[in-house]
Structure 1
Amino acid sequence: MTDTTRTDPANRQTAAWGAVLSMSLCVALLLASEFMPVSLLTPMADGLGASEGATGQAISISGLFALVASLLITTVAGQINRKSVLIALTMLMLASLVIVAMAPSFAALITGRAILGICIGGFWALATAIMMRLVPPQDVPRALSIMYGGQAIASAFAAPLGAWLGDVFGWRAVFWALTPLVAVNLVWQLSVLPSLPARRRQNFGTLIDVLARPYFRRGLIAAMLSWGSAFTMFTYLRPFLEQFNGADATTLSLLLLVLGLAGFIGTWAAGRFVGQQIAPLLKLPALIMGAITLALLFTGSSTVMTAALLAGWGGMNTALSVIFMTWMSRNVGDAPEAGGSLMVAAIQGSILLGALIGGLLLDSFSITATFVGSVALAALAVILIGNGQRLLKPVKLTQTLRRWN
């Protein structure tokens, strides 16, 4: 096993907070790159001579490549220093933005989005394991909340800012505007990330071994149901607000901004209040977001009530990531990269599946059916999780792993 004592900040019980902040910026830029095109769909389709439907599929292809990359990254990276892997992924993100900004054709757009998907899947698969090495164990929830603060930033500002810049300067300028920010992040990572040698060789056998643990499988299914519920609702939030609330463009932007800004509170609260007892928290995201989704069906005509409910939903949505990734770090601590790969693959798959289920319900029935479907998935998650104890590593296994380490 590689000796990482001299290069791993967590082994010295010190925290590399500069590296944590650089990871947070990387999260913000990744999510902005991933979801910015949603607000630029029409001008991108016009500029490339493609239909909006085809352009939308090209945009979503990043999710498919993210799913595949999340499962392959730890095996493909092998014994490569994890700092080098992160730097390579950031360079790929920069390349993908340049390709999309210069895209002369629909095929070039697909290529750029596929490369971005590799970045997304690879980064998220390694992120939690790296956080566990950048800070002492007791600071992991706080570090995760800081990293997911980048998610809140992107959620709050990417879509409205992208729409405005695209209207004023053109959609290509939006992607060009992201490139210097990614370049700065690349330089920052080079300077603040410590050397992170691979701790042990990863292979598909490691993934299978982790997946064979009953408590982890239950947690993985619970995470899939929770994220599937969230994205069944979130993907189709705009048509809901337009139909139930009669929201115009200005009201819609403000409501989405409220939802995004609430994410900052969610990440802060999760980092502050996630303690040693993680089990009781696991069902909270599905329980609260499911209840809010159901409540929106009865109060959606009131803008004030809708804003209040969306604030609660947005805060819990970002807390969801911190809670489940903290659970993963504590219960698959002997194989965090394998656990992270499986978690990211499950989340990406559930996002795609949630959007598919929501779309089918919307097209076949109504937006009400879509939201009811979201509530049903949340209810299944709550039932599966229960008090959370069956998602925790058995005490005997914990003691065995401690002796082994």
Structure 2
Amino acid sequence: MTRSLDRPTRPQSVVAPDPTVRWLAVLALAIGGFGIGTTEFVAMGLLPDIAGSLGVSEPTAGHVISAYALGVVIGAPLIASLTARVPRKALLLGLMTLFTLGNLASVVAPTYGTLVAARFIAGLPHGAFFGIAALVAAHLMGPQNRAKAVAHVLTGLTVATVLGVPIASWLGQQFGWRSAFGLVVVVGLVTLTAIWFWLPNMRSMHVTSPLTELGALKRVQVWLALLVGMVGFGGMFAVYTYISTTLTDVAGLSRALIPVALMVFGVGMVTGNLLGGRMADISVIRGLYFSITALGIVLALFVFAAHNPWTAMAGLFLIGTAGSAIGPALQTRLMDVAHDAQTLAAALNHSALNVANAAGALIGGMVIAAGYGYTAPAAAGALLAVAGIVVLTVSVLLQRRTANR
């Protein structure tokens, strides 16, 4: 964990010396993250409404969530590599336009098939937007505050779990599920306006080429960093996917309090994201070790804490905190090890996290189906965190050996 492992691969100049300009730019990007976070999670709570409206079963309606995730996984590397030469501000405006149109198509989708297609389109710009926004924010804020800048962009995503998702869910329940995506369209339009007026032109920001960006896929350290996210993050999603039943059937919490519990989890995510940014600015590697280890410990304790409503709520907050703290450090690590292919690597981070989401949910479902109960996903998640630490250690040792040659 030497200082050299945490050093940026190239110096980043601050293009906006005025602090007000910098923070308004980061705020514009965070608003976009708020909209993306809202649309990503709100469909989970509205599946019964979507299924009833379109005349399909609830499991079938769940494919709209899978379609969005598939869009993220495919869109992140594809868009990041093909648009490598596009100026950053123009690219962010284009990505948010595509995102807004995808959600508008979700609002007016007449059939189940068209809704699935609309959700896929809405997911395409997700990873690329966050990856490029992270690079832009780090460039604006300078090398000493790059992880903190990344964390502030990701704050929009975490705040969405506290405010955006509950508000959109309420709208969906009161006025139909289409109104939830209508709210996201409004947020998308606000983001477009904010980026247009608040984000500098970023002319001094380095741009590459598609071949240069694709070069990231040849770097072992990039794949190891992505694997850390896929494995280490999976434990949080293993618990979160089944948290409603865990809290009601195991902790004995009233179903009416589930939204409150989800907000507690969201507050934990906001807290962890900001703490993670500060830790990563001190040391990216140590930040990753600390946050993944903390997540593993909290998940292991949740196996026992889940049997009481008060300790379950406290554990849920800590899971959100520890899990979210991984994000800024992992994003920054990818930016460091990708060298000149930072755009693709930063975007791939969100593909990796969506894989972690799917893998965590799958593993959690498997241990429940095997008869181990609803606390078993937390135990499985703790083991995933251990695996994440192992992968990170391999990455660090390999980098040290390469540096000593």
Pair in the same fold by TM > 0.5: yes
**8 Å CA contact retained: 1:280, 1:387:** no
2:25 pairs with one of 2, 5, 19:
19
Unaligned runs of 5+ in 2: 1-11
Residues 387/395 of structure 1: CA separation in 2 closer, same or farther (3 Å cut)? closer
Identify which range, 388-397 or 189-198, moves more after superposition.
Answer: 388-397
Residues 280/75 of structure 1: CA separation in 2 closer, same or farther (3 Å cut)? closer
How much does 1:397 deviate?
9.4
CA displacement, residues 220-251 of structure 1 (integer Å, 9 cap, x when unaligned): 22222112222122212222212211222222
How much does 1:116 deviate?
0.9
How much does 1:212 deviate?
3.5
Alignment of 1:349-368 (within 5 A): 349-365=355-371, 366-368=373-375
AA at the equivalent of 1:154: A
Residue 340 (structure 2) aligns with: 334
1:383 pairs with one of 372, 390, 396:
390
1:59 pairs with one of 55, 58, 65:
65
- Once residues 346 and 388 of structure 1 are traced to their aligned partners in structure 2, the CA distance between those partners, rounded to angstroms, is 16
**Would you say 1:370 and 2:374 are equivalent positions?**
no
CA displacement, residues 317-362 of structure 1 (integer Å, 9 cap, x when unaligned): 2211112112223333432113213323322222222222222332
Residue 289 (structure 2) aligns with: 283
2:14 pairs with one of 10, 13, 34:
10
**Would you say 1:127 and 2:143 are equivalent positions?**
no
AA at the equivalent of 1:43: D
AA at the equivalent of 2:221: Y
Residues 290/304 of structure 1: CA separation in 2 closer, same or farther (3 Å cut)? same
Identify which range, 83-92 or 191-200, moves more after superposition.
Answer: 191-200
- Once residues 279 and 352 of structure 2 are traced to their aligned partners in structure 1, the CA distance between those partners, rounded to angstroms, is 26
CA displacement, residues 12-59 of structure 1 (integer Å, 9 cap, x when unaligned): 766622111111110010010111111111111111111111111122
- Once residues 205 and 271 of structure 1 are traced to their aligned partners in structure 2, the CA distance between those partners, rounded to angstroms, is 28
Residue 250 (structure 2) aligns with: 244
- Once residues 56 and 238 of structure 1 are traced to their aligned partners in structure 2, the CA distance between those partners, rounded to angstroms, is 16
**Would you say 1:80 and 2:86 are equivalent positions?**
yes
Q: What SS class does the counterpart of residue 362 from structure 1 fall into?
A: helix
TM-score (norm 1): 0.88
CA-based RMSD of the aligned residues comes to 2.5
Q: Which 4+ stretches in 1 moved above 6 angstroms?
A: none
Residue 403 (structure 1) aligns with: none
AA at the equivalent of 2:353: I
**8 Å CA contact retained: 2:276, 2:291:** no
Residues 79/218 of structure 1: CA separation in 2 closer, same or farther (3 Å cut)? closer
AA at the equivalent of 1:373: A
Residues 166/12 of structure 1: CA separation in 2 closer, same or farther (3 Å cut)? closer
Q: What SS class does the counterpart of residue 307 from structure 2 fall into?
A: coil
Give the length in aligned residue pairs. Answer: 390
- Once residues 332 and 398 of structure 2 are traced to their aligned partners in structure 1, the CA distance between those partners, rounded to angstroms, is 13
Residues 14/389 of structure 1: CA separation in 2 closer, same or farther (3 Å cut)? farther
- Once residues 36 and 218 of structure 1 are traced to their aligned partners in structure 2, the CA distance between those partners, rounded to angstroms, is 31
Percent identity between the two aligned chains: 24
**Would you say 1:49 and 2:59 are equivalent positions?**
no
Residue 185 (structure 2) aligns with: 179
CA displacement, residues 142-198 of structure 1 (integer Å, 9 cap, x when unaligned): 211211211221111233323322222222222223322221111111111222457
- Once residues 51 and 68 of structure 1 are traced to their aligned partners in structure 2, the CA distance between those partners, rounded to angstroms, is 26
Alignment of 1:312-351 (within 5 A): 312-351=318-357
**Would you say 1:142 and 2:145 are equivalent positions?**
no
CA displacement, residues 372-393 of structure 1 (integer Å, 9 cap, x when unaligned): 2212211111233349733757
**8 Å CA contact retained: 2:232, 2:292:** yes
